Amino acid sequence: MDERTLDHLAESAADLIFRSKKIVAFTGAGVSTESGIPDFRSPGGIWDRFDPDDFTYQKFVGSADARRKQWQLLWKDRLTETVQPNPAHYAIAELDRRGKLDCVITQNVDSLHQTAGVPDDKVLELHGSMRRVLCLQCGRRYPMAEIKKRLYDGEEVPGCEACHGILKPDVVLFGEALPDAVFSEAAFRAEHCDLFIVVGSSLVVYPAAQLPAYAADSGATLIIINLSETPMDRQASILIRAKAGEAMTRIMQKLAKKMNG
């Protein structure tokens, strides 16, 4: 996308944001990749090197060997290595500081929206968070940093210290349903916003990909910022084919001029 086109679209998006009262930002892998986090599904991603069928919830629960394989993937690929928010995260946090953001609904599991400054109670993590580990038996949660240390010290399949139950990264695995409460809340927020902004998602992973349609069907205006096509493109009032950080930074620069007057 050339500079003049991006500038024009950013101006139009800033106008919509300026006039909106309740904005939902919906973020996908295209936001996290700009922080150096691999996109599992893209060429060169994790699933180019591993079979997703080996990483299902059913295998994780049913086999100690499967748990060992998944924990070693987590450790060796350093999927929880310290990463930092990028300009897209900070731009969305700025929406909150300016009183425009109702919530962030994210498909990402890195919790970088909170790191960038969005309050935790305004971030709905549809697929959980890699910063937490959950005991499937007693429900106790551990910081991932604590479990990483146990892996580093040689524990191949960490178990719960309280009840010896199975520990699982607090994320949704293949074959595992999204948490009902989180998805229901996300659907409610989508249906009651006046502007729904998709940032860095191709909208192909269901049921999360239904949420923009919920918003549009309820009368919200739709902005889509994504490098590739999405099934919702025709319903978007503004469609920006650009990287998340570049587009959101430009939009927020335009918005700042409008709000600072």
Judge if 91 and 220 occupy the same domain.
Answer: yes
Tell me the CATH number at 167.
Answer: 3.30.1600.10
Give the span between the Cα atoms of 172 and 56, in whole angstroms.
9
Tell me the CATH number at 200.
Answer: 3.40.50.1220
Judge if 150 and 163 occupy the same domain.
Answer: yes
Judge if 242 and 198 occupy the same domain.
Answer: yes
Domain boundary (110, 136, 171) is at 171
Counted domains in the chain? 2
The predicted structure's pLDDT at residue 4: 87
Domain that holds residue 184: 1-37+84-127+178-261
**What pLDDT digit, counting tens, does each position of 47-91 carry?**
455 566 767 899 999 999 989 988 887 765 555 457 899 999 999
State the DSSP string of the chain: --HHHHHHHHHHHHHHHHH-SSEEEEE-HHHHGGGTPPPSSSTTSHHHHS-GGGGBHHHHHH-HHHHHHHHHHHHHTTTTS-----HHHHHHHHHHHTT-EEEEEES-SS-HHHHHT--GGGEEETTEEEEEEEETTT--EEEHHHHHHHHHTT-SS-B-TTT--BEEEEEPPBT-PPPHHHHHHHHHHHHT-SEEEEES--S-STTGGGHHHHHHHTT-EEEEE-SS--TTGGG-SEEE-S-HHHHHHHHHHHHHHHHH-
Judge if 139 and 219 occupy the same domain.
Answer: no
The model's pTM: 0.91
Give the span between the Cα atoms of 67 and 50, in whole angstroms.
15
Give the span between the Cα atoms of 258 and 15, in whole angstroms.
8
Judge if 252 and 189 occupy the same domain.
Answer: yes
The predicted structure's pLDDT at residue 39: 65
**What pLDDT digit, counting tens, does each position of 174-192 carry?**
888 888 999 999 999 999 9
The predicted structure's pLDDT at residue 137: 96
Judge if 104 and 78 occupy the same domain.
Answer: no
Judge if 17 and 121 occupy the same domain.
Answer: yes
Judge if 185 and 251 occupy the same domain.
Answer: yes
The predicted structure's pLDDT at residue 78: 52
Judge if 187 and 242 occupy the same domain.
Answer: yes
Judge whether 192 counts as a catalytic residue. Answer: no
Judge if 67 and 44 occupy the same domain.
Answer: yes
The predicted structure's pLDDT at residue 196: 98
Low-confidence ranges of the chain (pLDDT < 70): 38-52, 54, 75-81, 261
Catalytic residue among 8, 89, 113, 127: 127
Judge if 241 and 190 occupy the same domain.
Answer: yes
The predicted structure's pLDDT at residue 174: 84
